[in-house]
Amino acid sequence: MAARVSTPSGIKESEDTGRISTAVRAAKEIAKGEFGSLNGPSFLKMIRPEYPRLARRLGKEGKVLLRLFIDEHGRLVSVEIVEKAGHGFDEAAIDAVKASTFRPAKLNGHSVACKAVLPIRFRLE
């Protein structure tokens, strides 16, 4: 029984990203979005979360929604829980994300910092 990490498509950029004209400005811009699009942030190396033992024993499933801040170098700067699932899922999701590595989002061909929402679903199989 494994945990699955979902990677939804689409990244929503901040409103003024269309007006960026230089790489210097692009590097300072922070995009907002979700994982999975061509120019959005993505996993370089994804560590799958461990299914919490108690949750498995109780037959519990859940979804944790995380907001990640990934800098223009692909480093995870911060992670916060947007939506909790309880039963140990929150901690397992955060531990897995902290152990993972990332590719930064791209804007006009340049790497940019990004705040991205990542849902992590735990399903018993």
DSSP string, 28-45: H-EEEEETTSSSS-EEEE
Q: According to the model, what pLDDT value does residue 10 have?
A: 40
Q: Where are the domains of the chain?
A: 4-122
Q: Which CATH number fits domain 4-122: 3.55.40.20, 3.30.310.50, 3.55.50.30, 3.30.2420.10?
A: 3.30.2420.10
User: What is the reported pLDDT for 42?
Assistant: 93
- 73 has pLDDT over 60: yes
44-53 tens-digit pLDDT: 999 999 999 9
Query: What was the pLDDT predicted at 33?
Result: 64
Contact 66, 97 (CB under 8 A): yes
Average predicted confidence (pLDDT) for the chain: 81
Whole-model pTM: value is: 0.75
